[in-house]
Amino acid sequence: MPAVDSLNGFSYTRAGGPANLALVTPSDSTDLTHVSQWVYLSVAGVLKVSTKGGQTLTTPTLFAGWHLMELNRIHATGTTASGIMVGW
């Protein structure tokens, strides 16, 4: 099932951070429940992701902390970061 984009059609700002948070178990076959605005990593590493725009790619190594990304999926294969949480 595709991720729900709760903010589709709305003009919004990310300055205040996410209103909703969810822990993520990376999956090669299941989309996130909602399109992310933010991704938090508690342990640095790479993410293999599918973006809201339709691209699938593997990021360079990302530091632990918050990252601004609109994602539909975080893949298990190819992801080395852990402690992943998304916000929207």
Residue 5 domain flag: no
Looking at the structure of the chain, the number of domains it has is 1
The pLDDT confidence band at residue 86, using thresholds 50, 70 and 90, is very high
Contact 39, 81 (CB under 8 A): no
Q: What is the DSSP letter of 3?
A: P
Residue 10 domain flag: no
Beta-strand pair 71-75/56-58: unpaired
Give me the pLDDT at residue 68, please. 95
Each as own residue / partner, the long-range contacts of residues 16-20 (CB below 8 Å, 24 or more positions apart, any chain) are 17/87, 18/86, 18/87, 18/88, 19/87, 19/88, 20/87, 20/88
Predicted TM-score (pTM) of this structure: 0.83
Beta-strand pair 65-68/48-51: unpaired
pLDDT, tens digit, 9 for 90 and up, residues 17-55: 889 999 999 999 999 999 999 999 999 999 999 999 999
Domain range for residue 65?
25-87
pLDDT at residue 13 greater than cutoff 70: no
